[in-house]
Structure 1
Amino acid sequence: MRERLTRARSLVGLGGRLVAQRLRQTAPRRTAVTILGIAFAVALCLTVSGVSVAIADQGSVAGSNVDYWIVPEGESSSTLPVSVGGPRFGDVHAVGDRLTSRSDVVYASPVSMQLLQLSHRGTTEYVIVAGVVAHDGLTVAGVNTSALTPGDPHYENGTYDGPWTGEVVISDGAGALLNATPSDSVRVRGQATSTREFTVAAVTDGGESGFGDVPVAVMHLSELQTLTGATASDTADQILVASTNPNIEDDLAGVYDHSSVVTRSDTGLTSVTDSDLALALAAAGFIVALVVGVLFVATTLGLEVTTDRRLWATLSAIGFSARSRAFLLFAQVGLLALVGGVLGVVLGRFGVFAANTAVGTVFENTLVAVYPVEFVGLGLTMALVVAVLTTPYLLWLTTRGSVTDTLKT
């Protein structure tokens, strides 16, 4: 075993010296092109993977503690955040209270989504407004509702005569759009009543869609219903349920006729098919990068191996076994791949930065690609795969022709 390790170290050292000789003397350009080819392939793979991971990780419309959405039949998770004008549920406060009273339900909150005009100091913009029954830990579109008074005071058991809180929590995107900060007053134009003033209780993160910050405002459901004329039937677009029971889905499906239940993993500000898109992008990026890397290495090192046929013939003549020659060749390719992989990891980081910068010039506060630390390992693994796939072809090139004929030329 020790003898094999010693031989392997010797072959790796010889491979390193051969690579260094090519870089300094015999073929610096082709060797540099090989390294750059691997680096380009790795950078391409990491940049595309960064985009796919960003798509897969887009913020959900509810917080991580929300397990289920009850939605009208035919609706999908892609319509949850902007379900305006579609089918709605009635008597939602009573249903929410009944579900919340269950021992296996943390809370249940009806959610109504409307696109309304908000005004502040001469600026008027359309904002997605969500009406909720406030509960501890509830988030909608990433907006934390803890700054709202718990419950829904104005509802007052269906009389809508309870205290009017006039509270609203807005996302960073809405705050930037309206230039509004906590304690500011904003005017909300309703569809059924005159414009009402609300006080900004907090400005929080939220509204992430993967293509920039969507302006979102969250208020009490009964106050939104009063603004939009939905008090008569107590309507909402969907009901979100936080539960400790993994088997509650069938019970929730029977709460309303013609409804369906969407699990937390299916919800998001973008279509449920984004997970498929992320997977397709990652797979396509990996395949394209792999093909590019293999072609670069096979072409450039193939020319080198053909040029060095006398070297390989000499090694065979002096007793280097086929296994030793294969290991020596892989050592050279592996060293080049390692250098190219490290360079590709750096270039991939710049690629992600460039993608975010380019899109950010069009969409503010946008993050279209990410670069988690795991990408370092992914990039080096990608370079190693290129080396492994290329070595058999290069090894075949070293065996072409007879040793005697090669040494005579």
Structure 2
Amino acid sequence: MIALRGLAHNKFRTILSAAGIAIAVISIMLLGSTGSGLIRIGEKTLERSSMDMWLTGKTFDLKSQFAGGSEGKITDAHKLESRLLKNSNIDFAMPVLTEIVYAYKEGAEPKAVFGTGLEGTGGSFVSILQGEGLIGDSHYNSGLYNGPWKREILIDGRAAKLLDVTIGDTLHIGKTLTEARKQEFKVIGLTNSLSSFTTGPMIVLYLSELQEITGNHYYDSVNLVMLRLKDPSRAEETQKQLETQYPEYAVSTNLNLIKKIIRQNSPVLAGAFFIVVLAVLMGVLLAVNTVLLSLNERKNEAGILKVMGLSKWSIIRYLCFDGFLVCIAGGITGVLLSLPLSRVLNILIYRAVGFEDLVLIDNSFIYIGTAAAVITGLVTSLLAAMWINRINAAELLRSV
């Protein structure tokens, strides 16, 4: 009760300190859960793709995909596909091109969307929600791009909403606005199977047609080749074979690819970690500041207690418990607020990039957040105890 009366004496300072601890706990839980969610979604996406291995350029990263640059591109993709299929353990190979293109309905405003080029969408790799899939890429013809154009595309739910189109509609698509005005493609199907690979609206075209409209047909360039193995247990052996045969490319299993993407995006992760550290430091400083200011106001009381013969431990318990209470209250508040905030964050993330249930707060993050609040309370009490230990009761009372 004495500690509670001490906290109530300066409500604003107490609330500010508790808020600092709460923000620190919320930062730990939400940012930690977001990072964990990205890894979880990445693993699930790769598992759903039914692919076991990925062949990419050695500088492959997410940024070069979106920029549409030549970094990390694989050349002579169709010939490479044929050579890969000669490997006794490779059952299926699919070159994939990803480029940003402009798309719009006649009379509508052009939008930049994520274009993906595939040779076809048969099998279990791409599931069609409505309409038809892409079957047979006819424009590529034995090393030349002189076959007939089909001009058919698939869209995902985000692209359908952004471009206000449905099955049967026609879209202008091109690498530039000038080129897009001259080229029309018909929407024949809806799929969300590939949506987890990108944060933006996606359209799926035949590989050779996307290559030609983006200039990648000159060197038969793609971003990656996905591989399905006959015997996934031999993945490591197959990886070594391909690395020896194609030293200019990076060969990754699903787990390797996730690690590579995380490593290449480490500046973003480091920034998030830095935010958490700052939030924790801010909470600690606010809590320490509250306790020390409170003790400074009560230093005469501390001196009197020393003169009365009370032990240091008794004085510390009497005067320092309020700082520990502030930290615990802030920690509990942070944990309780993190749960509804995670739901709000999930809604915003889904609307922005289409990732569903990205932020799921695991019990481990609740324990970490709670532990951070308790440790902060103990550190605060320790610093307060050191401050009390330095009080010279005789000098303090003479100055009264």
TM-score by length of 1: 0.69
Pair 1:292 & 2:282 matched: yes
User: How is 1:9-408 mapped onto 2 (pairs within 5 angstroms)?
Assistant: 17-24=1-8, 26-43=9-26, 63-64=46-47, 65=49, 66-72=51-57, 75-84=60-69, 88-90=74-76, 92-100=77-85, 102=87, 104-105=89-90, 107-123=92-108, 124-133=110-119, 134=121, 136-138=123-125, 149=133, 152=136, 154=138, 158=142, 167-188=152-173, 195-204=183-192, 213-225=199-211, 235-243=221-229, 244=232, 245-256=235-246, 258-261=248-251, 263-265=256-258, 273-282=264-273, 284-309=274-299, 322=312, 331-345=321-335, 365=352, 371-374=359-362, 375-401=365-391
d(CA) in 2 for partners of 1:397 and 1:237?
62
CA offsets per residue over residues 27-63 of structure 1, 9 Å max, x none?
4454444333433444565566677668878869x73
Change (3 A) 1:366 1:324: farther
Contact 1:23–1:32 (Cα < 8 Å) also in 2: no
- Cα pair 1:330 1:388 within 8 Å, conserved: no
Q: Structure 2: which amino acid aligns with 1:387? A: G
Aligned partners of 2:303, 2:225: CA distance in 1, in Å? 75
Could you say if the C-alpha distance between residues 251 and 338 of structure 1 is closer, same or farther in structure 2, counting changes exceeding 3 Å? same
Provide the TM-score with structure 2 as the length reference. 0.70
**Residue 153 of structure 1 contacts residue 162 of structure 1 at CA under 8 Å; is this kept in 2?**
no
The C-alpha deviation readout for 1:303-354, integer Å capped at 9, x for no partner, is 3234445665677678865556556666543322111122334566787799
In 2 relative to 1, CA 163–338 (structure 1 residues): closer, same or farther, beyond 3 Å? same
Within 2, Cα distance between the matches of 1:52 and 1:197?
A: 38
1:277 maps to amino acid:
V
Query: Post-superposition shift, 1:118?
Result: 3.4
Where in structure 2 are there 5+ consecutive unaligned residues?
none
**Conserved? CA contact 2:154–2:190, under 8 Å:** yes
Greater per-residue helix proportion: 2
Deviation at 1:117?
4.2
Higher mean displacement: 232-241 or 311-320: 311-320
> What do residues 265-321 of structure 1 show as CA deviations (whole Å, max 9, x unaligned)?
1565xx953234213421x22332233222222222123234445665677678865
Q: What's the Cα RMSD here?
A: 4.9
One-letter code aligned to 2:162:
L
Q: Check the 8 A contact 1:167/1:198 in 2, yes or no.
A: yes
Deviation at 1:120, TM superposition (A): 2.8
Where in structure 1 are there 5+ consecutive unaligned residues? 1-16
Structure 1 letter corresponding to 2:241: D
- Classify the secondary structure of the residue corresponding to 1:246: helix
Is the CA contact (8 Å cut-off) linking 1:173 and 1:214 kept in structure 2?
yes
Letter in 1 for 2:207: L
Contact kept in structure 2, 1:132 and 1:220, CA below 8 Å: yes
**Counterpart contact for 1:181–1:203, Cα < 8 Å:** no
- Counterpart CA distance in 1 for 2:330 and 2:209 is 60
- Shift, 1:112, TM fit: 2.2
SS of the residue 1:204 aligns to:
coil
Residue aligned with 2:236, SS = coil
Distance 1:255 1:240, change over 3 A: farther
**Identity score, percent:** 19
